[in-house]
A and B are shown apart, each in its own frame.
Chain A
Amino acid sequence: MIRLEKDGFKNFIEELIAEYAVFAPVMKDGKHMFGNISSVEDIDSSRLNTEMSPKEIFFPHSEVLFEYDEDGIRVADGEKKPIAVWGMRGCDARSLRMLDKVFGGDGERPDNIKFEDPYWERRYGDSLIFSVACNEPLSTCFCNWFDSGPHDSAGADIFVVDIGDAFLMDAVSGKGEEFLKGLSGSGKASEKDKKKAAVIAEEAVSLLGKKTDLGELNDKLKGLFHKPIWDSVSAKCVNCGACSFTCSTCHCFDIQDESRKGRGKRVRIWDACMFPIFTKEASGHNPRSLSKERVRQRVMHKYSYFVDNHGEFLCTGCGRCISVCPVNLDIREVIREVLAS
């Protein structure tokens, strides 16, 4: 474990920027989100969770897959430098691992189909993720439901704890270890530092709400598909895409062709199962025409289908959907209702 003085942070970020395209939490037009930074001053750590999740760094809302004109087809170049993300939260770092099971080549699927999405891979593949532990989780945080917590290092390459006057950094992956080896201006963390970090971690955990045991959730959901519970669960939902678009794990997309007079482009855009058009078929028939069917799909995908396919819930408990929902449809209450049924 390494100790980096806060005085040396500016230097550290500058060194990082020299080698990587660095993303960190920034304030953009009054919204807290991840942005490409050019200096340490750009970083804004005033809020715990960014309002938009960092999935957009690796899986942007609108991604041009290729462009074409009379001269042929061109695939856009990737970023020249590998991506480094400073200030990601543990939940978001874990969400990228989940998305990697979908887009990355190493996804374990029961059907053994291997597919690697090149657009995802070229960004996430050689990225360096610094996840910074949450010392003061929010009331919307429920990462503890997923056997994680505010000081969970899973999903990170380098796990960072802010102990006030310094950052403690610990390599989690091989990439992280490699990076820390070459890091200048840092020393080894003392036993005292480690103790301090442990105290902070304990306090952080104590701030989280009560954990709900999700052991039976998938089995419960399997028996509920045709049950009337979805009427009450979905009643207040207005079917907007705010939850899906701020979600760090929602990854459904649509493909759009944009063309004009001999040239055009194919764009991949975020889509959401909340929209009626999401499942509308060419015939005009919509297998999920009702709001409750769409809400059911979202819950099922996160807490049942993904578990069957990839062995874990497609949710990290970041709580963005809870704070953003215009009608306060709290996913925690939905889960509790399902478990109680």
Chain B
Amino acid sequence: MNDWQPKILAILCTWCSYAGADLAGVSRIQYPPNIRVVKVPCSGRVDPLFIMKSLQSGYDGILVSGCHPGDCHYMSGNFVARRRFAVLKPLLEFIGIEPDRVQFSWVSAGEGERFAQVVTKVTEDVKKLGPAKRLVKQV
């Protein structure tokens, strides 16, 4: 499985992390091409159902990224999101989903370099885990 490439869904808030990804691009910073990006208005928009659905439809990893605490364009969206993830992540681990499958980060619009690092780290982590099997729906 050496040439196996994971598929990773990156759900990015439009104000910070998506702009951070943009900056990484225009700065020509290299990062693994394994992510598929979905832009959301705010990390507070991310319903845990999005994450479960993505795992179900076969994504090997999921990255959710928003503005740093205190930087939210909508003042408190990422604080609310943080509470949600604080419960979702342990719960997913509790039922037996590998901890590294679903990851969260804060990346600002100025952190192109950091965005690349985050994506590299997530991709490496998921590569170590191998293809997702649990929760994947067979149709």
Give me the interface of A with B, judged by CB distance under 8 Å: 258-260, 263-265
B-chain residues with CB within 8 Å of residue A263 when the two chains form the complex: 139
Residue tally, chain B, CB below 8 Å to A: 3
Q: Please, which residue of chain A has its CB at the minimum distance from the CB of B58?
A: A260
Number of A-B residue pairs having CB atoms within 8 Å of each other in the complex? 8
Q: Does B57 contact A (CB under 8 A)?
A: yes
Complex A-B, nearest 8 residue pairs according to Cβ-Cβ distance, in ascending order: A260-B139, A258-B139, A264-B139, A263-B139, A259-B139, A265-B139, A260-B57, A260-B137
Taking the nearest CB of chain A, how far is it from the CB of B85, in angstroms?
A: 27
Taking the nearest CB of chain B, how far is it from the CB of A260, in angstroms?
A: 4
Taking A258-B139, A259-B139, A264-B139 as known contacts, 5 extra A-B pairs with beta carbons closer than 8 A to each other, sorted by chain A number, are A260-B57, A260-B137, A260-B139, A263-B139, A265-B139
A-chain residues with CB within 8 Å of residue B139 when the two chains form the complex: 258-260, 263-265
Q: What are 5 A-B pairs with beta-carbon distances under 8 A?
A: A260-B57, A260-B137, A260-B139, A263-B139, A264-B139
Q: How far is the CA of A265 from the CA of B57 in the complex (A)?
A: 15
Q: How far is the CA of A207 from the CA of B96 in the complex (A)?
A: 49
Q: Please, which residue of chain B has its CB at the minimum distance from the CB of A69?
A: B139
B-chain residues with CB within 8 Å of residue A265 when the two chains form the complex: 139
Interface positions of B from 86 to 139, Cβ below 8 Å from A? 137, 139
Q: How far is the CA of A258 from the CA of B57 in the complex (A)?
A: 12
Taking the nearest CB of chain B, how far is it from the CB of A265, in angstroms?
A: 7
Taking the nearest CB of chain A, how far is it from the CB of B73, in angstroms?
A: 34
Q: Please, which residue of chain A has its CB at the minimum distance from the CB of B138?
A: A260
Q: How far is the CA of A242 from the CA of B137 in the complex (A)?
A: 26
Taking the nearest CB of chain B, how far is it from the CB of A140, in angstroms?
A: 35
Q: How far is the CA of A263 from the CA of B57 in the complex (A)?
A: 14
A-chain residues with CB within 8 Å of residue B57 when the two chains form the complex: 260
Taking the nearest CB of chain A, how far is it from the CB of B138, in angstroms?
A: 9
B-chain residues with CB within 8 Å of residue A258 when the two chains form the complex: 139
Q: Please, which residue of chain B has its CB at the minimum distance from the CB of A258?
A: B139
Taking the nearest CB of chain B, how far is it from the CB of A258, in angstroms?
A: 5
Q: How far is the CA of A298 from the CA of B57 in the complex (A)?
A: 36
B-chain residues with CB within 8 Å of residue A260 when the two chains form the complex: 57, 137, 139
Interface positions of B from 42 to 63, Cβ below 8 Å from A? 57
Q: How far is the CA of A259 from the CA of B139 in the complex (A)?
A: 6
A-chain residues with CB within 8 Å of residue B137 when the two chains form the complex: 260
B-chain residues with CB within 8 Å of residue A259 when the two chains form the complex: 139
Q: How far is the CA of A264 from the CA of B138 in the complex (A)?
A: 10
Q: Please, which residue of chain A has its CB at the minimum distance from the CB of B57?
A: A260
Q: How far is the CA of A260 from the CA of B57 in the complex (A)?
A: 9
Taking the nearest CB of chain A, how far is it from the CB of B131, in angstroms?
A: 16
Q: Please, which residue of chain B has its CB at the minimum distance from the CB of A265?
A: B139
Q: How far is the CA of A34 from the CA of B57 in the complex (A)?
A: 32
Taking the nearest CB of chain A, how far is it from the CB of B76, in angstroms?
A: 33
Taking the nearest CB of chain B, how far is it from the CB of A278, in angstroms?
A: 23
Taking the nearest CB of chain A, how far is it from the CB of B132, in angstroms?
A: 15
Q: How far is the CA of A286 from the CA of B139 in the complex (A)?
A: 31
Taking the nearest CB of chain B, how far is it from the CB of A16, in angstroms?
A: 33
Q: How far is the CA of A265 from the CA of B137 in the complex (A)?
A: 13
B-chain residues with CB within 8 Å of residue A264 when the two chains form the complex: 139
Q: How far is the CA of A258 from the CA of B56 in the complex (A)?
A: 13
